[in-house]
Structure 1
Amino acid sequence: MLGTTAVPAAAEERPRPPDRDPVAVGRGGAVSTVDPDATEAGLRILRSGGNAVDAAVAAAAALGVTEPYSGGFGGGGYFVYYSARDRQVYTLDGRETAPAAMREDSFLENGEPIPFAEAVTSGLSVGAPGTPATWEHALEEWGTVSLRRALRPAIDLADRGFVVDETFRRQTADNAERFADFPATADLFLPGGAPPEVGTVLRNPDLADTYREFARHGTGVLAGGIGADIVRTATAPPVAEDADRTVRPGLLSAEDVAGYEVVERDPTHVEYRGLDVYSMAPSSSGGSTVGEALNILERYQPEDLGPAELQHLTLEASKLSYADRNAYIGDPAYSDVPLETLLSEDFAAQRACRISPDAVLPAPAAPGDVTGGGGCLDGGTPAEEGAEGPSTTHLVTADRWGNVVSYTFSIEQTGGSGIVVPGRGFLLNNELTDFEFEVSETGAGAANLPAPGKRPRSSMAPTIVLEDGRPWLAVGSPGGATIITTVLHVLVDRIDRDMTLPEAVEAPRLSQRNAAATQAEPAFIGTPEQKELSELGHTFSEVPEIGAVAALEFLGRGRIQAVAETERRGGGHAAVLVPGR
């Protein structure tokens, strides 16, 4: 096992992490991610003639090197693609699947849910990875370069290493205690027994070799040595001899891993203010929940509303759509998801009539009646939100031909299961903790119980907005269940509040998820808007940050604006192929 090498240097000699630019405007294509090296990997493919799909796979593979705690080869996600040739939006469901041996009670012991932290750091939480199949399928269906060529920038990056920044060091330090309990993880991310220092160069030759093998054989490697190593690691986690931690074995089999299939699904679609908003259908709840909230909001005219009034309506629409998400969304192969109803105008009318302009709807609100009832009827008992992890990563790409990708992918918690596959250089996911461990006595939450081969519900919401049939905006974010509210607020701020895209990404964020209190970033607390909303009855709980957006907008006349975060999660990096004013 080669492991990772952290190359030390005197403080004054250490290289600086790459510069980050939150906004770029130009032509010929664009890439925005949370990391400069990943953005450059995508641009490298665009420069050599590749399209947006090729660049998205290249950038994603590079994020597997530089942001391995948020996404990578051992995880899954959702890929949304606009084809300029077909003028159609396509989506791939690359969500991880539960093992064939998993049952409804797999997260219960003696009839009680096992401690959540123990479920996370275990083999039991590991689903069959969907990322390799997503990359392969996207390139085969819509790409123009080989898998080998798309992975070349990431292979080079893993071989030569990247410069550790403060965000990577902090995330490592936050996970250091559990990483230390797995020798392969400690060797990779705790060189010398401690988190790497800012300015050191971290190499991952094991991952470079994994990518090389994948580039040669595609997803066939999941039926070979790499797949066997994934199964061995999940079913018998390699724990340090002196570790004092309960690490449960997983249920994955060779058939689960080798037999994984990505699913091409129809996107969700709603019309909003004359725009066509496309996103991800279940097994993700992102597209349906954002879409339902937008349908509710379209019943109001933004020009008739002040900023606080519009914010109030957005929070209430979010509250109601989350109530429906928690009650009705699950893997459509296992549950009868009423998607058409949830995205219908009639259902939006039923939900909107619950909203008062001068009072706050008590939370948790009950879900709506999807059986055809009208008026302001509620349809049942509120379901729990679940315990979706706050990690994940997102990227957007566009090319000279007008193709666009919005891609969100994850390994769930920051650091996933905490278990690196020995000799392979990547972490295993803990996505199966997105399942409900049990349901209430009323049956709420049953749509998201574990089952053999099932995909756990997600909140990922990679979104593409069309204007007159052509791409105008692409946006997405990490952040677990806050992904939905982040995407919703960016869309509302850009479309209804007439902010520029950089302003919408920069604006202080709120997240109302059918809870008594709305989460709010510090910059929102104490503002006149917050005071007006508090007078209406809204309450707020302060959180350090919400989400980490990557987005782009077509400005007309061939110009593209790529946008990333300035500060959240250490800031992102946006770039265009041919910079201009």
Structure 2
Amino acid sequence: MPRARLRPVACAAALALGLGAFSAVPASADPRHTEKVPTAIGTGGAVSSVDPEATAAGIEVLRKGGNAVDAAVATAAALGVTEPYSAGIGGGGYFLYYDAQSGKVSTIDGRETAPAGMANGAFIDPETGEPYNFTPELVSSGVAVGVPGTLATWQRALDNWGSQNLKQVLRPATKIASRGFAIDETFREQTLDNKERFAAFPATSELFLPGGDAPQVGTIFRNPDLADTYRMLAKQGLDGFYAGDLAAEIAHTVQEPPKSADTGLPVPAGQLSTADLAGYEVVEQEPTQVDYRGYDVFGMAPSSSGGTTIGESLNILGQFDVAAMDEAEALHHYFEATALAYADRGKFVGDPAFADVPTRTLTDKLFGAERACAINPGQAAAKPVAPGDIENYDGQCPAATSEPVEERDTENISTTHLSVVDRWGNVVSYTLTIEQTGGSGMVVPGRGFLLNNELTDFSTVYDPQDPNRIEPGKRPRSSMAPTIVLQDGEPVLAIGSPGGSTIITTVLQTLVNRIDLGMSISEAIAAPRASQRNTAAVTAEPEFIETYGPALEAFGHKLTPAGDSFTPQAEIGAVEAVEIAADGTLTAAAEPTRRGGGSAMVLEPTE
């Protein structure tokens, strides 16, 4: 972040950034955008997302005079077309906004909510009396579908800060859905990974498995039903989604899942009703804020745990001179800090409308200083570690007084993030999701979008002491962590990532790479990753294990390769960021390879 007096970035790295610059091509010159370039440097506005069609949609809005909020909604709507397994109007998310005129950072919590009729024991199989298995029962079900908040988020953002209306910003995405986009390897692989689930629902199979197979790489995929849905929403606005025919169809899909007669998946029914949709509201609240080495780091307050957990981790790391450490020492401290912060996340964080969440304490520098006492500079602590004492802390080193809390990780990578900066200096960092890859697997028939399975983020077994227990109307705890960083009141970075509960560590590790370890933003994103979430083993990418494994094992850390049935590619996160230099130069930066690579564009390239 160039405004800071950071460790210098090597000239070779700076040259690499220049060589990687991307000249945004007008949409009229090429009807389809397929080239993914991870770094773009210039002025006039910037967009970073995982997909070139979506990034180009945002750039088109900026080019036509729209601001960062307009472009962010346009980009998100396009991702609902090209990244339908990760996001869309069937899901929810968190919107973070910096307003250049007022200098204020604001948030919109558009997280999905549990239906009013959802019982505390909703995840208990009535036939067996035992909790449903996470897969296949919960992930492909109506019972896991929360009330979607994405469209309400878009409308509130436009009402609060936008310069264009919903009809205008939906146009680029509607065009993409109508004319189609080119299938890449990631889309085909994700479809094949979910083939059994998608085949269980005729509407999903018809859309994503034409002829019984995933679309081939390079072919053109069109979604006329979604184009029609966007056109309808452009005319009717929120009422078109949260009331009327579409609301009834969503509720019917959840309550009577339209599965094929020959599927072996159980697909438990859910409780979401038209009344739930009509009553949905986004929440606006103050962001979290911590100071880290002269930077003001803003994030999402609960129901997201992103802001509190990143904030606490930074407050812990702030007690150490990380920049003076070698890489293994720095990573050891990073692991130990996140383990402590995740212990507090698991113990204390949930929806603040239902639980007394100590947000101020968790982001208090004094509390972080006391938690830092638990770090042994030369030895990893046994995991899981215990949560801190939120009632009595003074920055001194206490004796452990509580039992360890094991991280219960059900979140998955099927999320997406976008970062936008406009010519006036307004900034958006927006993370949105439908939860697992492909969400619930259920397309609303005739509407072209998948419904979320976000309620799997609740704890499966009801515990009255658990802040993330199931309750009607409640938002499940999330790890989504859109982040905006300021210095001296001016924005220097917008950043975020998908990745389930690894979102927090991904954003944090990238910040440490950039601020403490002197990497450029592109280098910080590309660096190999690992995630310690208060578990016995550290989840790590293969390259990370190869590079740092022996040195970190000497500290007592056990590293295990990333990857599961939903993310077999063994990758952690997919960062999308925009950095702002003191002279106004913008560096849009995305993943070079993870998740097939991201797409960064600037309005007026200078390199």
**Into which bin does the TM-score normalised by the smaller protein fall?**
over 0.9
1:553 counterpart residue number: 579
Q: 1:309-324, aligned counterparts within 5 Å?
A: 309-324=329-344
Q: State the 4+ residue runs in structure 1 displaced beyond 3 angstroms.
A: none
From 186, 190, 193, the equivalent of 1:171 is 190
1:292 counterpart residue number: 312
Structure-2 change in CA distance of 1:530 and 1:150 (3 Å) = same
Cα distance in 2 between the residues matched to 1:120 and 1:56: 29
2:454 counterpart residue number: 431
CA displacement at 1:530 relative to structure 2: 2.9
2:108 counterpart residue number: 92
1:580 counterpart residue number: 606
Q: Confirm whether residue 391 of structure 1 aligns to residue 407 of structure 2.
A: no
Cα distance in 2 between the residues matched to 1:367 and 1:111: 31
Verify the 8 A CA contact 2:120 2:462 in the aligned structure 1. Answer: no
User: Is there any run of 5+ residues in structure 1 with no aligned partner, and where?
Assistant: 1-14
What TM-score do the two structures reach when normalised by structure 1?
Answer: 0.95
Structure-2 change in CA distance of 1:378 and 1:439 (3 Å) = farther
From 268, 273, 296, the equivalent of 1:276 is 296
From 411, 419, 433, the equivalent of 1:410 is 433
Cα distance in 1 between the residues matched to 2:401 and 2:478: 23
Tell me the secondary structure at the aligned position of residue 525 of structure 1. Answer: helix
The amino acid that maps onto 1:387 is: T
Cα distance in 2 between the residues matched to 1:302 and 1:333: 37
Q: Confirm whether residue 377 of structure 1 aligns to residue 399 of structure 2.
A: yes
Verify the 8 A CA contact 1:104 1:451 in the aligned structure 2. Answer: yes
Tell me the secondary structure at the aligned position of residue 264 of structure 1. Answer: coil
Tell me the secondary structure at the aligned position of residue 89 of structure 1. Answer: strand
From 212, 223, 226, the equivalent of 2:231 is 212
Cα distance in 2 between the residues matched to 1:238 and 1:514: 39
Number of residue-to-residue matches in the alignment: 563
Q: 1:73-92, aligned counterparts within 5 Å?
A: 73-92=89-108
Q: 1:296-375, aligned counterparts within 5 Å?
A: 296-373=316-393, 375=397
CA displacement at 1:16 relative to structure 2: 9.1
Q: 1:517-536, aligned counterparts within 5 Å?
A: 517-527=537-547, 529-536=548-555
From 22, 26, 29, the equivalent of 2:45 is 29
Tell me the secondary structure at the aligned position of residue 263 of structure 1. Answer: coil
The amino acid that maps onto 1:256 is: D
Verify the 8 A CA contact 1:163 1:201 in the aligned structure 2. Answer: yes
Verify the 8 A CA contact 1:16 1:199 in the aligned structure 2. Answer: no
Tell me the secondary structure at the aligned position of residue 214 of structure 2. Answer: coil
Cα distance in 2 between the residues matched to 1:402 and 1:16: 29
1:7 counterpart residue number: none
The amino acid that maps onto 2:558 is: T
Q: Confirm whether residue 158 of structure 1 aligns to residue 184 of structure 2.
A: no
User: Is there any run of 5+ residues in structure 2 with no aligned partner, and where?
Assistant: 1-30, 563-569
CA displacement at 1:373 relative to structure 2: 4.5
2:74 counterpart residue number: 58
CA-to-aligned-CA distance 1:66-110 (integer Å, 9 cap, x gap):
000000010000000000011000000000000001122111135
From 187, 191, 195, the equivalent of 2:214 is 195
CA displacement at 1:526 relative to structure 2: 2.7
Cα distance in 1 between the residues matched to 2:538 and 2:76: 32
Root-mean-square deviation (Å): 1.3
Tell me the secondary structure at the aligned position of residue 265 of structure 1. Answer: coil
The amino acid that maps onto 2:592 is: T
Verify the 8 A CA contact 2:366 2:393 in the aligned structure 1. Answer: no
CA displacement at 1:112 relative to structure 2: 2.1
CA-to-aligned-CA distance 1:254-286 (integer Å, 9 cap, x gap):
110121101111100000001100000000000
Verify the 8 A CA contact 2:499 2:574 in the aligned structure 1. Answer: yes
2:87 counterpart residue number: 71
CA displacement at 1:384 relative to structure 2: 3.5
Tell me the secondary structure at the aligned position of residue 427 of structure 1. Answer: coil
2:489 counterpart residue number: 469
Cα distance in 2 between the residues matched to 1:518 and 1:389: 16
CA-to-aligned-CA distance 1:309-360 (integer Å, 9 cap, x gap):
1111111001100010011100000000011111112211221100011111
Tell me the secondary structure at the aligned position of residue 301 of structure 2. Answer: coil
Structure-2 change in CA distance of 1:75 and 1:358 (3 Å) = same
The amino acid that maps onto 1:474 is: A
From 422, 429, 447, the equivalent of 2:445 is 422
CA displacement at 1:202 relative to structure 2: 0.6
The amino acid that maps onto 1:436 is: S
Percent of counterpart pairs with the same letter? Answer: 58
Verify the 8 A CA contact 2:462 2:470 in the aligned structure 1. Answer: no
Structure-2 change in CA distance of 1:175 and 1:205 (3 Å) = same
CA displacement at 1:200 relative to structure 2: 0.8
1:115 counterpart residue number: 133
1:103 counterpart residue number: 119
CA-to-aligned-CA distance 1:381-434 (integer Å, 9 cap, x gap):
314423112210000001000000000000000000000000100000000000
Cα distance in 1 between the residues matched to 2:493 and 2:32: 33
2:246 counterpart residue number: 226
